[in-house]
């Protein structure tokens, strides 16, 4: 990846974090995080509970201002800019835990996603587009979002982000609280959105198996630092990943030790 450090190597880079540090009071949640997401790819940040994945996404979308470092989107410095400004540049964030507006209908939740847009025809077209991906939302269009199941709320949260017509979607743990079957369905649609619409996606996940299969390039985050990066095809073959994130290594101890054992990454 040596060319990635040169200006020419930045061609085709949609998102670039350089040495980002973000904290909650005295707690440094991420330290020296540098990563790049190429236009058109699905990238993932893997990490266990509390590793700092959500903090990375919140720092990118302007919810948290970093203490150090920079965030560039499409070559523009968006470090610590207002979240509404960042959405307008074409970057949408699907937060952890979905956070739909429970007392608004599905339809109105989707319109909220399009609040920065003025092209009514485009908004109507995109609403049909999201109903194409998630037909159940069309059936529930006039119901309150709070009455939807967890999986349907996740679909709505992704759809609401799509309604802003983004070039990049930040997706925070879409598998959280969902059955394996539903998780698989949602990941398949995320990949379809990427392939069919060319939307670039940065996904953070504890479910390494799903994330590595859905993504092109991956970063591994431990205690707020990136400890490994590679193509997902290569990451899937690494012994550390198999043992600690996929639980596949036959000699590995599954369960608690997978997350708790101190590991020197190589």
Site residues (CB under 6 A) for ligand ATP? 24, 27, 29, 47, 49-55, 96, 206
Which residue's CB is nearer to ligand ATP, number 32 or number 122?
A: 32
**In whole angstroms, how far apart are CA 230 and each of 44, 57, 216, 219, 239?**
10, 20, 9, 7, 13
Smallest gap, in angstroms, from Cβ of residue 112 to ligand ATP?
Answer: 24
In 10 A of CB 99, how many CB atoms? 12
Smallest gap, in angstroms, from Cβ of residue 65 to ligand ATP?
Answer: 14
CA count, 13 A, side-chain hemisphere, 189: 23
Cα 28–chain centre separation? 21
Which residue's CB is nearer to ligand ATP, number 54 or number 199?
A: 54
Give the whole-angstrom CA distance, residue 229 versus residue 7: 20
Smallest gap, in angstroms, from Cβ of residue 74 to ligand ATP?
Answer: 25
For residue 17, the SS3 value is strand
Which residue's CB is nearer to ligand ATP, number 127 or number 157?
A: 157
DSSP assigned state of 105: B
Residue 226: exposed, middle, or buried by beta-carbon count in 10 A (0-12, 13-18, 19+)?
A: buried
Which residue's CB is nearer to ligand ATP, number 55 or number 165?
A: 55
Q: What Rg do the C-alpha atoms of the chain give, in angstroms?
A: 18
Smallest gap, in angstroms, from Cβ of residue 137 to ligand ATP?
Answer: 26
Which residue's CB is nearer to ligand ATP, number 123 or number 202?
A: 202
Which residue's CB is nearer to ligand ATP, number 51 or number 127?
A: 51
Strand 225-231, strand 168-172: pairing:
unpaired
Smallest gap, in angstroms, from Cβ of residue 55 to ligand ATP?
Answer: 3
Give the whole-angstrom CA distance, residue 174 versus residue 73: 23
Smallest gap, in angstroms, from Cβ of residue 224 to ligand ATP?
Answer: 7
Which residue's CB is nearer to ligand ATP, number 114 or number 204?
A: 204
Smallest gap, in angstroms, from Cβ of residue 148 to ligand ATP?
Answer: 22
Contacts of 160 (CB under 8 A, 6+ apart): 94, 100, 109, 110, 112, 113
């Amino acid at each position: 990846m040596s060319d990635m450090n040169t200006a020419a190597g930045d061609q085709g880079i949609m998102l670039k974090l350089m040495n980002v540090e973000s904290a909650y009071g005295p707690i440094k949640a991420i330290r020296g995080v540098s990563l790049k997401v190429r236009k058109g790819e699905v990238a993932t940040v893997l990490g266990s509970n509390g590793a700092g994945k959500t903090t990375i996404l919140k720092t990118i979308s302007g919810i948290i201002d970093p203490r150090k470092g920079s965030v560039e989107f499409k070559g523009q410095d968006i470090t610590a800019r207002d979240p509404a400004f960042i959405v307008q540049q074409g970057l949408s964030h699907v937060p952890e835990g979905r956070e739909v507006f429970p007392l608004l209908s599905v339809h109105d939740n989707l319109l909220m996603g399009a609040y920065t847009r003025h092209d009514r025809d485009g908004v109507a077209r995109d609403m049909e587009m999201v109903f194409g991906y998630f037909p159940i939302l069309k059936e529930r269009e006039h119901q309150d979002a709070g009455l939807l199941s967890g999986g349907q709320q996740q679909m709505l949260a992704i759809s609401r982000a799509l309604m802003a017509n983004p070039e990049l979607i930040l997706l925070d743990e879409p598998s959280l609280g969902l059955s394996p079957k539903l998780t698989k369905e949602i990941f398949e649609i995320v990949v379809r959105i990427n392939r069919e619409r060319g939307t670039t996606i940065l996904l953070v996940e504890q479910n390494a198996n799903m994330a590595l299969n859905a993504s092109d390039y991956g970063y591994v985050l431990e205690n707020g630092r990136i400890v490994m990066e590679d193509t997902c095809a290569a990451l899937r073959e690494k012994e550390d990943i198999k043992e600690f994130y996929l639980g596949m290594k036959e000699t590995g101890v599954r369960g608690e030790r997978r997350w708790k054992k101190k590991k020197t990454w190589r």
